[in-house]
Amino acid sequence: MLTNRPRTKILVDGGDPNETLRIKNLIGFVDGQTTNPSLIAKNPEIQRLIASGHKLSSREEKEEYQKIVQSISPLVGDAGVSIEVFADLSTRAEEMLAQGQEMFSWIPNAYVKYPCTHEGLRAAQMSVEKSIRVNMTLCFSQKQAAAVYAATKGSKESVYVSPFVGRLDDRGEDGMELVRNIKEMYKHSDGHVHVLAASIRNVNHLLCAFALSSELATVPGKVLEDWAAIGFPMPDRDFRYRGVDTSGNLLKVIPYEKLDLNLPWESFDLAHELTTKGIKKFVADYQSTLKRSA
């Protein structure tokens, strides 16, 4: 078990309550959990239903999702359970909000995940006005993180923004640099947005998230097991991180942008091709569990 608890809150990135329990027993605690449509599609019970020839109706899928997060909810601490709305590229903010309101009522410690798009940001703005906690997902740029800050200003609750490290690494950019840049930008902020390092692929990513004082990190069970297997090391003063690809070549540094957090959120360019690609992938994984295309 982990004796020195890091300041970064540790969330399990998954969709299986049994895995969350296993990790809790291994580490001694789990601060929170993030789920998404791809992870829910991989849930063993949903996989069992599909393997037996039973594809789900969208209502059944929602009920399964609810059951899963209700099982996870009591296992985790105050970082809560993030539940993602089902959104494609044409879903309007009002529809996301309606889903978000319902999902928020499922458990007492819910965070609703919306994508870092114009409509997702609008849904977040309306949500925080209704005291719904939000986690802004599929964040791939500092401008998106600036917009999250501006759109949710005044929120009584902490807002999460989730930069996706591994998916940037996958295309040759050092994803940890995005976490570093957002943290740097938020130094000059009111602190209401917390950085949740996501798409973590290995122990080095996790240690770098600690070293950068990311408020939270969401980590696949396998990576947490790897970390436990080597005795839960923590980054020391000399810890240096530089992202490399699978062949050991250095990843491209993402330059810091000087952005004014006081500008209206609509003034930031939110476009990022990985956000678009990510939404399409979530839709495809969600639909793979359904009887027919939703």
Q: Is 99 in the site for ligand E4P (CB under 6 A)?
A: no
User: How does DSSP classify residue 265?
Assistant: G
Integer-rounded Cα Rg, in Å, for the chain is 18
d(C-alpha 139, C-alpha 148), whole Å: 9
Nearest Cα residue to 82 out of 160, 18, 140: 160
d(C-alpha 275, C-alpha 281), whole Å: 10
User: How does DSSP classify residue 70?
Assistant: H
Q: Is 169 in the site for ligand E4P (CB under 6 A)?
A: no
Measured on CA atoms in the order 169, 171, 174, 180, is the torsion positive or negative? negative
Q: Is 19 in the site for ligand E4P (CB under 6 A)?
A: no
Q: Is 272 in the site for ligand E4P (CB under 6 A)?
A: no
Q: Helix (H, G, I), strand (E, B), or coil: what is residue 130?
A: coil
Q: Which of 9, 55, 62, 113 is catalytic?
A: 113
Query: Cβ of residue 172: shortest distance to ligand E4P, in angstroms?
Result: 15
Q: Is 111 in the site for ligand E4P (CB under 6 A)?
A: no
Q: Is 199 in the site for ligand E4P (CB under 6 A)?
A: yes
Q: Do 199 and 219 meet the contact criterion of CB atoms below 8 Å apart?
A: no
DSSP string covering 3-34? SS--SSEEEEESS-HHHHHHHHHHHS---EEE
Q: Is 218 in the site for ligand E4P (CB under 6 A)?
A: yes
Residue, CB closest to ligand E4P:
199
Query: Cβ of residue 33: shortest distance to ligand E4P, in angstroms?
Result: 9
The window from 102-110, 164-172, 182-190, 222-230 that contacts ligand E4P (CB under 6 A) reads: 164-172
Active site residue 113: yes
Considering only residues 40, 198, 208, 274, which one is a binding residue for ligand E4P as defined by CB under 6 A? 198
Query: Cβ of residue 222: shortest distance to ligand E4P, in angstroms?
Result: 11
Query: Cβ of residue 166: shortest distance to ligand E4P, in angstroms?
Result: 5
How many residues does this entry show for the chain?
Answer: 294
156 alpha-carbon distance from chain centroid: 20
Q: Is 8 in the site for ligand E4P (CB under 6 A)?
A: no
Q: Is 13 in the site for ligand E4P (CB under 6 A)?
A: yes
Q: Residues interacting with ligand E4P, by CB under 6 A?
A: 13, 34, 36, 137, 162, 164, 166-167, 198-199, 218
Q: Which residues are catalytic?
A: 113
